[in-house]
Amino acid sequence: MQFPAPPHRARVAPSSNAARRLRGLAPWAAVAFAYVGLETALSVFAVPYARGLGLDAGRGMTSLSAFWVGLFVARVAFAALRRPARSAQLRGAGLAGALVLAAGAGSRAPAPEAVFLATGLALGVVFPLLVLFAGDAWPERRASAAGLVVGAGSLGGLVVPWLAGGIGDRLGPVAAVGSLAALALVVVAAARAPSPPR
């Protein structure tokens, strides 16, 4: 059996406006840096956060699991709803995540599982959307665009836990987790770039 030929795709000349395309990726790279940094820092500080609330390490590990359950549920629900992707959804997710993290750290309520679950639910759509928008920003080189943006996320995963650790050393692990609300606001600010119609 022979597969049909792939649909014709217009040959794209090497882009003479690569600098403009890279500038178009900048907002999504900033979102990736903030989001992956936040995600990694939450993973690192789940147990210290629980201990900072006077709880045992097991509660911290359960909280981390709750975070990933929240991410999973949010992504599946978003896919099932089949809503058009818009940058406004990233802004809403970032704002919700910031409010949850700030409230969780500020209240010091002994319910880290609820804080981490709500954070995952709030931020679950961020990563899939930023990869999608990166591809839309450079449609003739979608894979390269996604690779650059995800690379910026990896840098955030390296830098943010280190910075949050500095805050934790001075103010404690609950403050370190609360400081991540600022990164969720970076998502809000960076996602002000218009998303192309889909």
What per-residue confidence (pLDDT) applies to 9? 53
Query: Confidence band (pLDDT; 50, 70, 90) for 93?
Result: very high
What span, in angstroms and rounded, lies between the C-alpha atoms of 36 and 126? Answer: 10
What span, in angstroms and rounded, lies between the C-alpha atoms of 78 and 84? Answer: 10
Write down the pTM of the prediction: 0.85
Could you give the C-alpha distances from 59 to 2, 63, 108, 112, in angstroms and in order? Answer: 55, 6, 14, 7
Range in 10-24, 28-42, 47-61, 64-78 the model is least confident about: 10-24
What per-residue confidence (pLDDT) applies to 69? 98
Query: Confidence band (pLDDT; 50, 70, 90) for 7?
Result: low
- Look over the chain and give the mean of its residue pLDDT values, rounded to a whole number: 88
Amino acid identity, position 36: V
What span, in angstroms and rounded, lies between the C-alpha atoms of 117 and 121? Answer: 6
Rg (CA), the chain: 19
Query: Confidence band (pLDDT; 50, 70, 90) for 16?
Result: low
Give ∠ CA 144-151-193 in degrees, rounded to 5: 75
Residue 106 has pLDDT above 70, yes or no: yes
For the chain, domain boundaries:
24-190
Q: What is the pLDDT of residues 18-35, one digit of tens each?
A: 778 788 899 999 999 999
Calculate mean pLDDT across residues 63-82.
95
Could you give the C-alpha distances from 175 to 24, 134, 188, in angstroms and in order? Answer: 34, 32, 21
Could you give the C-alpha distances from 39 to 50, 128, 170, in angstroms and in order? Answer: 16, 14, 21
Residue 103 has pLDDT above 60, yes or no: yes
- The answer to whether residues 57 and 50 touch, using CB atoms and an 8 Å cutoff, is yes
* Domain at 24-190, CATH homologous superfamily: MFS general substrate transporter like domains (1.20.1250.20)
- The answer to whether residues 87 and 191 touch, using CB atoms and an 8 Å cutoff, is yes
What per-residue confidence (pLDDT) applies to 63? 96
Supply 67's token pair: 């975070």
Q: Within 13 A of 34's CA, how many CA atoms are on the CB side?
A: 29
CA dihedral of 55, 59, 61, 66, whole degrees rounded to 10: -130
Range in 74-83, 132-141, 153-162, 185-194 the model is least confident about: 185-194
Residue 187 C-alpha from the chain's centroid: 8
What span, in angstroms and rounded, lies between the C-alpha atoms of 32 and 149? Answer: 6
Residue 13 has pLDDT above 60, yes or no: no
